[in-house]
Amino acid sequence: MLPKSAAIAEAKDGGDACTQYGALCWRRAGDGVEVLLVTSRDTGRWVIPKGWPMAGLGPSETARQEAYEEAGVDGKVRDACAGLYSYTKVLGPDRSTGVPCVVAVYPIEVRKLAGKFPEAQERRRKWFSPKKAASKVDEPELGALLLNVARTVASPDNKGSRGRKSG
């Protein structure tokens, strides 16, 4: 695993895309499920919590940690990746540099939302139906994951790790 700065430098130089880990946060609602989206810090777009690999944490654990930091989520993460999506991470003060990123997405069944969490002052969070959430995000592959994964995560065989690992 390359450090964030090395991974970005390699991707900018024509190397492989950067890898990030994302959390598809969901809860049961009536006969179906709802998914939690957060706003990005820079543009205010609706996104899922995601971030760079973290030393000492595996992919699903990193997704769980990002869900806590960005949305205050405490819940049960599924250890198996539910899917991938790609996007271009825009960097720099003038937002002129684009780096290709691939996000591995891990479903998290939300058990509790904290009122205080690290990025509470920088983001909004909101529950949506899977269809509405899919229409709110800019990335078509993420939209498809929101529609498809939301139907399968509520199955009785949804297994994963409970709780939040604090860093």
Q: What is the pLDDT of residues 134-157, one digit of tens each?
A: 999 999 999 999 998 656 675 555
Please give the average per-residue pLDDT across 42-54, as a whole number. 95
Please give the average per-residue pLDDT across 74-80, as a whole number. 95
Share of the chain residues as helix, strand and coil, in percent rounded to the nearest 5: 25, 35, 40
At 96 the pLDDT is 77
Question: 167 falls in which pLDDT band (50, 70, 90)?
Answer: very low
Round to whole Å and give the CA distance between 132 and 147: 9
The DSSP code for 21 is: E
- Specify the 3-state DSSP secondary structure of 108: strand
Name the least confident of 45-49, 100-104, 129-133, 159-163: 159-163
* pLDDT cut 70: percent of the chain above it: 80
Residue with the bigger pLDDT between 9 and 87: it is 87
Is it the case that residue 161 has pLDDT exceeding 70? no
Is it the case that residue 31 has pLDDT exceeding 60? yes
Structure token pair of residue 73: 């989520």
